[in-house]
Each structure stands twice: as C-alpha cells, then as structure tokens.
Amino acid sequence: MKRLLSVALGVLTAIGGFVDIGDLVTNAEVGSRFGLSLAWVTVIGVVGICVFSEMSGRIAAVSGRATFDLVRERLGPGMGMVNLLGSMAVTLLTFVAEIGGVSLAFQLITGVDYLLLFPVVGVLVWVILWRAKFSHIENVFGMLGLGLLVFVVALFHLGPDWSQLGHSALSFHPTRDESWATWAYYGVALFGAAMTPYEVFFFSSGGVEEKWGPKDVSVMRTNVFLGFPLGGLLSVAIAACAYLVYYPLQASVDTLGQVGLPIALALGKIGLAIALLGFVAATFGAACETGLSTGYSIAQYFGWQWGKFVRTDVAARFHLVILLATVLAMGVLATQVDPVMVTEASVVFSAVALPLTYFPILVVANDPDYMGERVNGRVTNALGTVFLIVVTVAAVAALPLMVWTRMGA
C-alpha cells in the first residue's frame, strides 16, 4: 500500500511538475496561431523526454551518481565543460523566465506590477531552496501544479467541435497566411519547451537526493512513462483552449493573462482561481527546479559536495551558486526585460542546447562500467539515437529560424 501511494504521488507530481512557464506560454501561443497543427511536436517531445529521463533516472539509481558527476569523468573535462556551459546558459535563462513567470502569476492575482513583485519572489525562491526539504519542494509544488488540469476540464466546457479539433491536429501545415518558416520555428520552440535540459538534471540529481537504488527503477519508470505523457496531454489541452478562444478572433497570445482567459470563459471565477493556483505552483516549482539545477550542474562538474540531503554548511559552495544564480536572475529582471520574451527565447535556446545535454547521457547509459547489467537495451538505444538525430536537427535549425522569422513574428 505504501509503495502504491509512493507511485501515485510520483506520477501526480510528474504531471503537475511537467508544465512550466515555457510550456504555458508556448502552447497557448501556438494554439492561438496554429491550432493543433503542431500537437505532434509535443507528442514527439514527450516521447523524447521520457526516453532520456528514464536513462538519467536509471543512471542515478544504478550508479548512485547524477548526470554531470559522470559526464566529466566519462567524457573528460573539456567535453564536460562544453556541456556545462551550454546547458548552464539555457538553465539560467529558464531560471530568469520562471522567476518572471511567478511574478506575472502573482500580478494576475494581486494587480501589483510584476516589477515590484519579482524581488520578493526571488528572495522567496532562494529561502525555500536554502531551507526547505527536497521532497517538500518536489511534492508540494507538483501536487498544487495539478490545478492546471483545469485546462482539460475547460476544454470540455468550451464545447469544441471534436472533429474540427481532430482535423486541426492532423493538418501538418501552417494555418491562414502564416509561413512555413514561422510554423517550423514554433515547432522547434514547442520541442525545446517539452525537452528542456534542466528537467533531466533535476530528475537525475533528485534521484540521488532521494537515495534511489536499483530496486527503485520500476517506480521511477512508472513515474516517467505515466506522469510525463499525462503532463504532455495537459500541454495539448492548453493549446486547444487557446485555439478555441483566440483563433476565431485572429488574436495571438502574448501574455500570461491571456493564457488563463479561456478558463474564466469556460468555468468562471472558481476555475480561474484554480488555474491561478496552478500557474503559481507550476512556475514556482520550476523556478526551484531550475535554481537547484544550476547548483547541481556546477557543483557536480567541479566535484563539490552538493544536494539538499546534506546540511547547508556542508554544501556551502552548492548553496552559494544557487544564491548567485538567484541574484543574477533578479538582476536580469531588473532591466525590465519582458519575462514572456525571455521565456520564448529560453525555449528556443533550450532546443539549441539539447544535443549537449542528451548525448552524454546516452554515452554513460551505454557504459557497462557504470551501469552493469542495467546498460541500455537495443530498443532504448535505437530510440535514444533517433532522438539524438531529431534534437540535433532542431538545434541546427533553431537559430536560423529565429533570425529568419524575427522570433516567430
């Protein structure tokens, strides 16, 4: 019974924790402009994140060590540093976007400008990362993030023409007078949002924090293979809600307030209140995860003591990195940069950094010295290789598409 509860909790937090500010904004924007014609990208992205999360979780469970801990040892300091720099830049950008996202969510609740709120949010994130237990951070925000399931309920309440939705999901081309380049750009952005690098750092380091062993591999797989696809379904529901409300108006989604409006139209104030709780939990949880990921990555690369499973004074440098990352993120937001724009940039740059993140995981998961008999099987390797090719194509296409389409304008 205790094991069943543990699995259920893991699956629920995986669903609630799947969506962050990048998923919220990108899915709603894509839905409003392209309907569900890019839903297939989310499906592919979810399969990809499942494949690599399972690998990184298995590495943590079998070796008792996290991703960056092994990358440097297995691929050498040079390659490890390239990997660290690429992934860290994107994770920091995502951290800025998430703190901005929490502030925007609080602005929707209080009406106070996000520029007055982000310093408070930044300090709050840091205090939680410093003081709160790892399991509390993961479970509380993951469970509250389930409030976003209100998008699935709203989708039914909006009374869509299901055949039209299905037709939109199967039309693999741009809508109205949107260009192929813009459509492809948003495809890459959606892919980057679904496969954000920090997710695997957090997942594998979290496995070490929670002291996973080989016997926990089956529970970890259940969480990944049930929780993430259901989280992906939530992403598609967000896009579908935006499609139903904004597409007929020829309006595009540019703000977090617009993302929540379909919920209000479908379910009124109670639905909106639940969605707002979901916004805060999803972005706050992701801010904590990205903040921790910066500390994990740097500390693991340099071989410092890291983690929430030891006292803060024992992992002082790990906590110092988190503090510096938080100050940096607040400094960026203080420039009055639009957090939604940072979010859009972060998902595209995530796509650019994907090969740097996922290639080393595939290498380590194939090394019998670390993995013993839990080394990748043929199917996992085939999937891993296919996805490595897909992420490389997305990475190469991301920046030219960004310039060519003027960031999807």
Partner 1 sequence: MRGYPARGRRTPVHGVSCAGYLVAMKPAGVSIATLALCLLASGCAPNRPDQDAWRALAQQALGDASSAISTDQVTLEKRGKVFPPYLKTVVIQAEDTSGKSAQKFASLQPPGPYRQRYETVTSALDDAGSLLSDVRIAVVRHDTAEYPQLLKRLKKQSDKLSKLQDHIRALADDGSKG
Residue 341 binds to partner 1 (criterion: CB under 8 A)? yes
Residue 335 binds to partner 1 (criterion: CB under 8 A)? no
Query: Locate tokens 């999937």: which residue?
Result: 383
Question: What span, in angstroms and rounded, lies between the C-alpha atoms of 38 and 45?
Answer: 11
Residue 249 binds to partner 1 (criterion: CB under 8 A)? yes
Question: What span, in angstroms and rounded, lies between the C-alpha atoms of 267 and 269?
Answer: 7
**One-letter identity of residue 179:** S
Between 195 and 264, CB nearer to partner 1: 264
Q: DSSP 3-state assignment of 377?
A: coil
Between 135 and 252, CB nearer to partner 1: 252
Residue 340 binds to partner 1 (criterion: CB under 8 A)? yes
From 7-15, 37-45, 228-236, 250-258, give the range in contact with partner 1 by CB under 8 A: 250-258
Radius of gyration of the chain (CA): 20
Helix H or strand E encompassing 205: helix 197-209
Q: How far is the CB of 28 from partner 1 (least distance, A)?
A: 12
User: Given candidates 76, 110, 316, 389, which one binds partner 1 under the rule CB under 8 A?
Assistant: 110
Residue 337 binds to partner 1 (criterion: CB under 8 A)? no
Longest dimension (CA), the chain: 59
Q: How far is the CB of 405 from partner 1 (least distance, A)?
A: 9
CB 179 within 8 A of CB 27: no
Residue 108 binds to partner 1 (criterion: CB under 8 A)? yes
Q: How far does the chain reach from its first CA to its final CA, in angstroms?
A: 52
Treating both helix axes as pointing N-terminal to C-terminal, what angle do 256-302 and 228-246 enclose, rounded to 10 degrees?
150
Residue 400 binds to partner 1 (criterion: CB under 8 A)? no
Question: What span, in angstroms and rounded, lies between the C-alpha atoms of 27 and 405?
Answer: 18
Query: 267: which 2 tokens?
Result: 């379910």
Residue 176 binds to partner 1 (criterion: CB under 8 A)? no
Question: What span, in angstroms and rounded, lies between the C-alpha atoms of 92 and 354?
Answer: 15
Inter-residue long-range contacts of 303-310, CB under 8 Å, 24+ positions, other chains counted: 306/205, 307/134, 307/205, 307/208, 307/209, 308/133, 308/134, 308/137, 308/209, 309/134, 309/208, 309/209, 309/211
CB 387 within 8 A of CB 48: yes
CB 189 within 8 A of CB 395: no
User: Given candidates 42, 344, 349, 390, which one binds partner 1 under the rule CB under 8 A?
Assistant: 344
Residue 246 binds to partner 1 (criterion: CB under 8 A)? yes
From 51-59, 101-109, 217-225, 292-300, give the range in contact with partner 1 by CB under 8 A: 101-109
Q: How far is the CB of 141 from partner 1 (least distance, A)?
A: 22
Question: What span, in angstroms and rounded, lies between the C-alpha atoms of 61 and 375?
Answer: 12
Residue 252 binds to partner 1 (criterion: CB under 8 A)? yes
CB 23 within 8 A of CB 199: no
Residue 245 binds to partner 1 (criterion: CB under 8 A)? yes
Total number of residues that touch partner 1 (CB under 8 A): 35
Residue 264 binds to partner 1 (criterion: CB under 8 A)? yes
Q: How far is the CB of 336 from partner 1 (least distance, A)?
A: 11
Q: How far is the CB of 23 from partner 1 (least distance, A)?
A: 16
Residue 401 binds to partner 1 (criterion: CB under 8 A)? no
Between 30 and 137, CB nearer to partner 1: 30
Interface contacts to partner 1, rule CB under 8 A = 29, 107-111, 177, 245-246, 249-252, 254-255, 257-258, 260-261, 264-265, 268-269, 272-273, 276, 340-341, 344, 403-404, 406-409
